[in-house]
Structure 1
Amino acid sequence: MTRIEEMRTEILEGNIEKTLFKLSWPLILNNLVHVLYNITDTFWLGKIGREALSALGVSWPLIGTLMNLGQGFAVAGFAFVGQYIGAKLYDRANRAAGALYSLVLFFASLTALIGFFITPKALEFMKVTQNVYPYALTLSSESLAL
């Protein structure tokens, strides 16, 4: 029995609580790290001043929108890969995973490029004050680079 078949059997016939935890712990850990990052970011920006701290609230809708665009493509690709694995079409699953990787890399680069040029206009459209604008622009640009 191959490793994929073992995992399939575990998911379909194993203990559901154990399987859910096994599948979800990487996501839980990722979210905890993300929250710790945001808390640390807020702490240090608060030391710089109110304007820098305000930049977080102003730039987050832009950053979140662009990130969710990319996550949407990834989730759709995961669905294809999962369907192929469920149908035991492992060669197609490998091709779909490779295509997904290339597609996500392409869209991430495209989103970063578009976001880089749209961010200044978006902040002006949001009527960000002149005191907060440079901090929000810097924060948005740095987040897009990640």
Structure 2
Amino acid sequence: MVAGIGVTFCLGATVPQSPPEPLRPVEVTLHRFDRKPGSEATFREWIDYLRSHHREAVATLGRERTYFEAMFTAPDEPSRLYWLEVKGAGGKPVESSNHELDRRHIAYMDAVLIKGSHARLQTENVLVPDFIVRAVAAEQREER
């Protein structure tokens, strides 16, 4: 089901030849941001920080109900950042977190990204294999 920007799909236990039982919706969204001129060193510092605190960063995703997040750059667009996220309904915004990693993450975003440049790209299609649907549905059941 397409819901505005992004593609929303419902998750649940799947049985061959029958549709999944709906749980909470999950949205797959690609975000695009413009980076501030001269911010390359700070951007690299941000990425290095996230990599060196990988386990801690992953641990912060639960309160946001984010199941997957990835950042991308393109050699032909050096001033752009793309951010892919797979997120469940009902998560808390990163801005509401008191976690040190989240506070630093927001500070890096403010230092690197141009305010007002955020765009949510239109998702046209999402293919999700059953094993991922089952894994996210199991996670959603635990969140209840």
TM-score normalised by structure 1 residue count: 0.27
Structure with the larger strand share: 2
Q: Which has the larger radius of gyration?
A: 1
Larger RCO: 1 or 2 (CA < 8 Å, sep 6+): 2
